[in-house]
Amino acid sequence: MSNLLSTASLPVFKLFLGNLKTCLQKTIANASERGFDPQVLVDFRLAPDMLPFKRQILIACDAAKFGAARIALVEAPKFDDTEATMADLVERVAKTIAWIETVSPQAMDQGAGREVTFPVGKETKTMVAEDYLLHWVLPNMYFHITTAYSILRHNGVPLGKRDYLAGSLAS
């Protein structure tokens, strides 16, 4: 049996959500150093028709959480989406990572070849698990993490490519 699904998902989810958490923590520290309330960033948007920063975080977490749950056929935890502060967002990412760590690699790999049906707006879409992971879940998570990173950089938070790719691995 191939371990593509587990190796291409669980460690990637943990790494990139961990990097996102590190970026959020650096944002809080930078706000303190620069003397501003990080709360001003929670509802910030790069463009009027974009979702705000906090929604970027929630969607990145949900992409990983629901992606893993749908492929592994396990129940995803219900989060209320009531996060209102930067500290709340850090906690949301941490809760998502903690849950991802409970997902069995074997359950993920048993999803190989299985059709996954998921909501897309008011409709649903069905894809084979491998395609769902590689062509929907991962790009969706990366998109929202990248957008959050861009919002922080736009607002002067000193983050770089290393933070995005390996921020949680730094010692």
What domains lie within the chain, and their CATH numbers? 4-169 (1.20.120.450)
CA distances to 44, 90, 152 from 37, in Å: 13, 15, 13
The candidate with the shortest Cα–Cα distance to 131, out of 143, 114, 108, is 114
Averaged pLDDT for residues 86-111: 97
Percent of the chain with pLDDT over 70: 98
pLDDT in tens, 146-157: 999 999 999 999
For residues 150 and 145, give the distance between their C-alpha atoms in angstroms, rounded to a whole number.
9
For 56-67, what is each residue's pLDDT tens digit?
999 999 999 999
pLDDT above 90 covers a percentage of the chain that reads: 94
**SS3 at position 149:** helix
The predicted-structure confidence for 91-101, as pLDDT tens digits, reads as follows 999 999 999 99
Q: What is the pLDDT of residue 2?
A: 67
Mean pLDDT of the chain: 96
> Would the pLDDT of 77 be above 60?
yes
**What angle do helix axes 138-154 and 10-34 make, rounded to 10 degrees?**
10
CA distances to 21, 93, 99 from 13, in Å: 12, 11, 11
